[in-house]
Amino acid sequence: NNGLRLNSNIGIVIPREVAQNQILYYHGLVGVIEKCSVLGYNLTSMVVGEHSALPEPLRNHEVSALLFWNDLPEEFAHFAAGEKMPFVLLNPQGKHSECDAVSFSDYGTMFKLLRHLYENGYRKFHYLLENSGISFNCKTSEAFRNFSKQYQIAASILSPEGNDREAILPRLEKLAEKSDGRT
């Protein structure tokens, strides 16, 4: 909708820390790939570090549009603008008024999922929250808390200190031992 289409390849620029640490990335990326495929586009992912040079697919003009995940590196934005390449920022973590942005707020999806489970007999819920500082996780946690209050169900949010997954495993294992067909 926003511009030139020289080929059917879209590039997605993902910060290395997102690709390594954020569980949202994996589910979100699958959704983006599926949507691009339905629209007839291929997706080329490019994982970049803080001071990464422009990836080869960009330098070689192998993509005709760009998606950025969480952040909009200035040199990449300048490149896209110079090439008159449309670009969109997914899940912005700061203010980037100079570009189109799509923010992830899965409050509604989380609430709908919990209601579906509740309607199918589930009455105990445990939510493993990997990083409470991400706005997406804040929204899903809020939906989880509001759902448990509204439906008066047993619910707990498990959040490892400092994102240390290993530290939370003993608690998770105990909860799993006590779980039943309604958990």
Banded pLDDT at 182 (limits 50, 70, 90)? confident
In percent, how much of the chain has pLDDT > 70?
A: 86
pLDDT of residue 18: 80
How many CB atoms sit inside 10 A of residue 69's CB? 25
Asked if pLDDT for residue 62 goes beyond 80, the answer is: yes
Ordered strands of the 65-69 beta sheet? 42-48, 9-15, 65-69, 87-90, 100-102
- What is each CA distance from 51 to 15, 54, 76, 96, in whole angstroms? 10, 10, 11, 19
Q: Which amino acid is at 116?
A: H
Going by pLDDT thresholds of 50, 70 and 90, the confidence category of residue 92 is confident
- What does the pLDDT read at residue 24? 60
pLDDT value at residue 112: 85
Confidence of residue 175 (pLDDT cuts 50, 70, 90): confident
Most confident of 12-21, 64-73, 124-133: 64-73
What is the reported pTM? 0.58
The whole-number pLDDT of residue 148 equals: 93
**pLDDT higher than threshold 80 for residue 55:** yes
Q: How far apart are CA 140 and CA 68, in angstroms?
A: 22
How far is residue 175's CA from residue 183's CA, in Å, rounded to a whole number? Answer: 9
Give the highest mean pLDDT range of 13-27, 38-52, 89-103, 119-133.
38-52
Q: Is 38 helix (H, G, I), strand (E, B) or coil?
A: helix
